[in-house]
Amino acid sequence: MGRPEDWQLPRRAGAGYGWAYGCDLEAMRGSRAFLAEYVDNISRLNSYVERYEELIAVLSDLRAALDNELDLEGPQT
């Protein structure tokens, strides 16, 4: 899949857009700069997911507290 002869151009990504990719996995594995960026990106994504999960938990608790305080019943969406 990563070889140029395997590329199928253009791949469509929507009206007016096209994309193609090719990966030299050995070069990627051997590049300290690439691996550092990869680790940084994964760390940022993990932080985002953790913050998102924390926010959902806080909002769920807030919803429950408001429902209780206002004596509301209804679908919990």
pLDDT in tens, 34-72: 999 999 999 999 999 999 999 999 999 999 999 888 987
pLDDT at 28: 92
Decide if pLDDT at 19 tops 90. Answer: no
pLDDT at 6: 55
Quick one: how far is CA 69 from the chain centroid? 36
pLDDT at 1: 45
Decide if pLDDT at 4 tops 60. Answer: no
Distance from C-alpha of 42 to C-alpha of 74, rounded to nearest angstrom: 39
Highest mean pLDDT among 3-7, 15-19, 47-51: 47-51
The domain segmentation of the chain, as residue ranges, is: 4-69
More confident residue, 18 or 34: 34
Which helix (H) or strand (E) segment is 14 a member of?
strand 11-14
Amino acid type, 61: D
